[in-house]
Amino acid sequence: MNKKLSEILVTIIFSLLSLIVGSVGHASEIDFSVKAILPDNQRSKEISYYDLRVMPGETQTLNVELTNDTAEDIIVYASANTAITNDNGIVDYSYSDAKKDSSAVFTFNEIASIPKEIVLPKKSNKIVECVINIPKASFDGYVLGGLYFEQKEKKEAKSEGALAVGNRFSYVVGVLLSETNMEVRPELALNEVKVTQLNGNNAVTMNIQNKKAAMIKKLQVDAKLYYEDETKPRYENHQESLTMAPNTNFNYKIDLKEQPFVAGNYIVKVKVNDGYKDWSWERKFEIKEKEAKKYNATATNLPPDYKNQFSLTVVVGIGAVILSVILGTIFYFNQKIKKEQEKYEELKKNLEAKK
């Protein structure tokens, strides 16, 4: 019963995740469409993505039908992409050069190949093949990827001869591979904690990793940032209904919003529920003075009074340095004049003694 429920949940979440990637502009403007032709080893014929039961060492060929209903030829770029978990906590199929997670034995883009450029003549259909070479070593759980199709940019001439980039449209067809009914549950880990800046905002990020070939459909994360030995968190972030692809990691963030980094020792406390169990971690780290100044100087959302205060601090600092140089110079020449005066007085005494 648990296995059946698990399969149903995976089917539901994957159906949501493998919806067509949104295109820029209105749906009526899309110049091509994509349809998965489901093979015999498809586990369910009632879904529009590939959910395949495969065998070790076999070669699987997927056929995808591309249709161009327009009166012009178009070019479509294609790639077989490994599913990742992006930093918003969403499963993402759009990265063709995604870095392989350290926990993955192999990834979808390592075993799948598809033509990179497809010419679709006007008013035509074309079958595109994706070949998947299943590794000889068997695996439990899931391998997740997507067949990503993106239309080549249109360029329209302007009056002065310049080129304008047109809208870009894309589709993705999800591919879920499994070999057994063995239930694999997530194993989560907290990796690096660091200070950074995202879109001009100061933030602390915590890298959360799913080390198993398991889907996470409803991830809850509660992260709190404490300064030294304080008992009340200075900053925190709580999110629910995040998702994670198998064998992936992402950077969960605590946004400092309109607050600057303050140098010092910190503790981050993270609590996570992956749908099966609770996980919790604590990590100590330091924000160094040099680091804080660097990010505060480039942060775009700090309040004007802090910016003015920062500028005033810089001005005061520069003024103090200049004043120190001036006073040092005066002291140096005073000492030099004093020594010269002493020499003159001694010479004068010697001359008077000789007389």
- pLDDT exceeds cutoff 50 at 352: yes
Residue 155 has what pLDDT?
Answer: 63
For the ranges 24-38, 44-58, 141-155, 280-294, the lowest mean pLDDT is seen at 24-38
- pLDDT exceeds cutoff 90 at 258: no
pLDDT band at 354 (very low <50, low <70, confident <90, very high): low
DSSP-derived secondary structure for 236-274: EEEEEEEEE-TTEEEEEEEE-TT-----EEEEEEEEEE-
Residue 302 has what pLDDT?
Answer: 82
**Strand order of the sheet with strand 216-227?**
235-244, 216-227, 264-273, 278-287
Q: What is the rounded distance in angstroms from the CA atom of residue 19 to the CA atom of residue 174? A: 8
Q: What is the pLDDT of residues 51-75, one digit of tens each?
A: 999 999 999 999 999 999 999 999 9
Residue 315 has what pLDDT?
Answer: 46
- pLDDT exceeds cutoff 50 at 158: no
Give percent above pLDDT 70 in the chain. Answer: 77
Q: What is the pLDDT of residues 180-220, one digit of tens each?
A: 999 999 999 999 999 999 988 999 999 999 999 999 999 99
Domain 188-302: which topology?
Immunoglobulin-like (2.60.40)
CA atoms within 13 A on the CB side of 344: 6
Instruction: Report the mean per-residue pLDDT for the chain.
Output: 85
- The model carries a pTM of 0.77
- pLDDT exceeds cutoff 90 at 353: no
Residue type, 93: Y
pLDDT band at 172 (very low <50, low <70, confident <90, very high): very high
Residue 340 has what pLDDT?
Answer: 66
Residue 328 has what pLDDT?
Answer: 74
**b/e sequence 35-68, b meaning 16+ C-beta within 10 Å:** ebebeeebeeeebebbbbebeeeeebebebebeb
pLDDT band at 327 (very low <50, low <70, confident <90, very high): confident
- pLDDT exceeds cutoff 60 at 314: no
The CATH number of 2-178 is 2.60.40.10
DSSP state letter for 21 = P
